[in-house]
Amino acid sequence: MAYTLTQWNLGELYPGFDSPDLQMAFDNVEEQVMSFEGIRGKLLPDLDSNQFMEFVRASEQTSRIINKIYAFTGLSFAADTQDQVAQTYMARVQQFAAEMQNRTLFFSLWWKDLDDKNAERLMNSAGDYRYYLEEIRHFKPQTLSEAEEKVINIKDVTGTGALVTLYDAITNRYVFKLDVDGETKELTRGQLIAYVQGSDADLRALAYQELYRVYATDGPILGQMYQSRARDWHNENIGLRKFSSAMSVRNLQNDIPDEAVDALLDVARKNTKIFQRYFKLKAKQLGVKTLRRYDIYAPIANSDKKFEYDAATQMVFDSFNSFDPQLAGMAKRVFDQQHVDSEVRKGKRDGAFCWSVLPDMTPYVLLNYQGRARDVATMAHELGHAIHSMLASHHSTFTYQSSLPLAETASTFGEMMLTDKLLAEEKDEAVRRDILFKQVDDAYATIMRQSYFALFEKQAHEMIQKNASVNDIAAAYMENLKEQFGDAVELSDEFQWEWVSIPHIYHTPFYVYAYAFGQLLVFSLYQQFKMEGESFKPKYLKILSAGGSEAPAKILEDAGIDIRSPKFWQGGFDVLDKLVGELEKLK
């Protein structure tokens, strides 16, 4: 059967917003929470382990329903961001989840407060839930009283939560104007970015100038929102919770030791020369003296090769299949169950994502498929995510999803398998070269760019504590770019506003290093795969099927990887160094 561009079917979640099932789900959660509130008096240090597990499973049941409600609402909204009903439900679900969380908060507080001996006793019989329970206790020193925690939760809905929603609302309605072939086009950011990656050098410059013209106009306001976000982060996490630094909040949530993240960022800083060499090479390929910042994603060949949707799915299945047929089977299941929304539609969210709802439910994948080589790579990427979660489906709802830094493993690995397949089949030298250069472009965007975002965030959070103005922060951002690019790339002034255009630093502070983490990890895993062949496969599948059931450092340690060691991270950069070296040798 040929696959065609379609919308997904959310029927497995709920039939619709007006369905009695959905209303009943809200009621069920309320009932379950009310009954859970009744266990409060039973929480004593010598609690029987069977009873304890009953409570844990009861809270898992409630989470399952909330996950479903949240997924149905979020996926409906992504499918049509202009849908008023979906918009209203988004706010309702957030408020509902915060209220339910507050009413059941006493359980995790009791658990964190329990003495080590009894906690160990209960964890010993918790099986797959063990790591989840351990993780909650990691936050014990930073936990406040029940009353304080409740106030933070409820004030966050209309405080930080609302601030971030406003940031999205303001920036999502931006319209960008670009003169293309004598015609002024009005574009969304996603449409504008296509010109940034296009082959016309003048349009690349104009597109970037327009992008940051619009952001700079609101620069002082967006910058002020960022200052508030950073101050709130500091007030809560350092002021009240006593975390040691702004970044260590995220590190603890990722369960990655501070030293590992510091090692990663230090090593990245020492390797800026690799990409600087690459940008000089790219300048030569494009026939210019120095690469402008506008040109770093420029294609080096004019290949407009298009891929039919059905052929693309086949290529992706084939590349998974050559690694392990069970992976291809899982990828196929996502399509066969109509869990893919692939067509481009007005009002639909830009970009792509994979949403895992429950361990026993096939994940949902959103694409905006336009037939470019990039779109095929994105398809492999998102299906990699889906496979990761399907391989971990034997874990509980609390332990199947991997922590952030491991979350990009299967997706990036999937993309690399696809690239290898494309290279093996492509006869046209120009297209092959374009594929290889794109691979380094992407590596730049995920490794160096994201590492420098993280370094910037660190600096900006510190500066804001010292009352830096928005202009001070913009100047610091410019310095950050200069260090990153050296003399290899010509910067223009408008890039000082790039940081206010990065949603991640508003939404999830210090999220970005997870990208660099994931990509470098995959480089070194892929290197192992090429050297070891068949014997590597079980090791890799074991990493994926662990999901989030153990600490990332532990999962990787079992595969012989030490994330605290600068040598490990350097290994990832060495792969890149070799790749750039090979490109330099090409005629």
Q: Which residues are near Zn ion by CB under 5 A?
A: 411
- CB nearer Zn ion, residue 294 or residue 444: 444
**Residue 514 to residue 505: CA distance in whole angstroms:** 13
At closest approach, how far in Å is the CB of 230 from Zn ion? Answer: 26
At closest approach, how far in Å is the CB of 515 from Zn ion? Answer: 8
At closest approach, how far in Å is the CB of 412 from Zn ion? Answer: 7
At closest approach, how far in Å is the CB of 401 from Zn ion? Answer: 13
395 touches 359 (CB < 8 A):
yes
- CB nearer Zn ion, residue 382 or residue 457: 382
177 touches 184 (CB < 8 A):
yes
**Residue 514 to residue 251: CA distance in whole angstroms:** 10
- CB nearer Zn ion, residue 414 or residue 509: 414
At closest approach, how far in Å is the CB of 382 from Zn ion? Answer: 7
Which distant-in-sequence residues (6+ apart) come within 8 Å of 539 by Cβ? 528, 559
Which distant-in-sequence residues (6+ apart) come within 8 Å of 102 by Cβ? 149, 150, 153, 154
The SS3 assignment for 354 reads strand
Tokens of 351: 């970009």
504 touches 511 (CB < 8 A):
yes
At closest approach, how far in Å is the CB of 352 from Zn ion? Answer: 8
**Residue 531 to residue 550: CA distance in whole angstroms:** 27
Beta bridge partners of 489: 291
- CB nearer Zn ion, residue 342 or residue 411: 411
Residue nearest to Zn ion (CB): 411
- CB nearer Zn ion, residue 402 or residue 496: 402
133 touches 229 (CB < 8 A):
no
- CB nearer Zn ion, residue 411 or residue 480: 411
**Residue 68 to residue 88: CA distance in whole angstroms:** 17
- CB nearer Zn ion, residue 303 or residue 411: 411
107 touches 43 (CB < 8 A):
yes
The H-assigned helical ranges of 139-257 are 146-158, 160-172, 189-196, 201-217, 219-233, 246-254
At closest approach, how far in Å is the CB of 360 from Zn ion? Answer: 22
Tokens 């059905």: give the residue.
Answer: 310
- CB nearer Zn ion, residue 251 or residue 411: 411
Tokens of 5: 């561009």
At closest approach, how far in Å is the CB of 7 from Zn ion? Answer: 22
